[in-house]
Amino acid sequence: MMAGAPLSRFRYFTQRRDYLKWMHEPDCQTARRAVELPLTQALERGSSPQFFCQAHQGIGRLVHSQSALTPSGYYWRESGACDDCGAITRIRLAAEWFHRAAANTAEPRVYLTEQLTPLYRVLRRSFPNIVGSEFTPSLLEQAKASAKLMAYLLDPTAMIRHEDVCKLSFPDQSFDLLGSFDVLEHVPDYTKALGEFHRVLRDGGQVLLTAPFLNASPTTLVRARIEGGNLVHIEPPEYHGNPTIPGDGVLCFYHFGWELLDALRKAGFRSVAMLDAWGEETALFGDQNAIVATR
CA distances from 234 to 224, 241, 253 (A): 5, 21, 9
Q: How far is the CB of 61 from Zn ion (least distance, A)?
A: 9
Q: Which long-range contacts (CB under 8 A, 24 or more apart) does 105-109 make?
A: 105/176, 105/177, 108/176, 108/177, 109/174, 109/175, 109/176, 109/177
Q: How far is the CB of 64 from Zn ion (least distance, A)?
A: 15
Q: How far is the CB of 152 from Zn ion (least distance, A)?
A: 17
Q: How far is the CB of 82 from Zn ion (least distance, A)?
A: 3
| 84 contacts Zn ion (rule: CB under 5 A) | yes
Q: Given the complex with Zn ion, which of 36 and 96 has the nearer CB atom?
A: 96
Footprint on residues 34-53 left by Zn ion (CB under 5 A): 53
Q: How far is the CB of 131 from Zn ion (least distance, A)?
A: 23
Q: How far is the CB of 88 from Zn ion (least distance, A)?
A: 10
| 68 contacts Zn ion (rule: CB under 5 A) | no
Q: Given the complex with Zn ion, which of 55 and 184 has the nearer CB atom?
A: 55
Q: How far is the CB of 176 from Zn ion (least distance, A)?
A: 24
The residue within the footprint of Zn ion, chosen from 43, 62, 85, 252 (CB under 5 A), is 85
The residue within the footprint of Zn ion, chosen from 62, 68, 82, 158 (CB under 5 A), is 82
The residue within the footprint of Zn ion, chosen from 56, 64, 186, 295 (CB under 5 A), is 56
For residue 272, what are the contacts with CB-CB under 8 A and spacing of at least 6? Answer: 14, 261, 264, 265, 291, 292, 293, 294
Give the span between the Cα atoms of 176 and 204, in whole angstroms.
Answer: 8
Q: Given the complex with Zn ion, which of 119 and 194 has the nearer CB atom?
A: 119
Q: Given the complex with Zn ion, which of 84 and 164 has the nearer CB atom?
A: 84
| 124 contacts Zn ion (rule: CB under 5 A) | no
| 119 contacts Zn ion (rule: CB under 5 A) | no
| 60 contacts Zn ion (rule: CB under 5 A) | yes
Where do contacts with Zn ion occur on this chain (CB under 5 A)?
53, 55-56, 60, 82, 84-85, 87
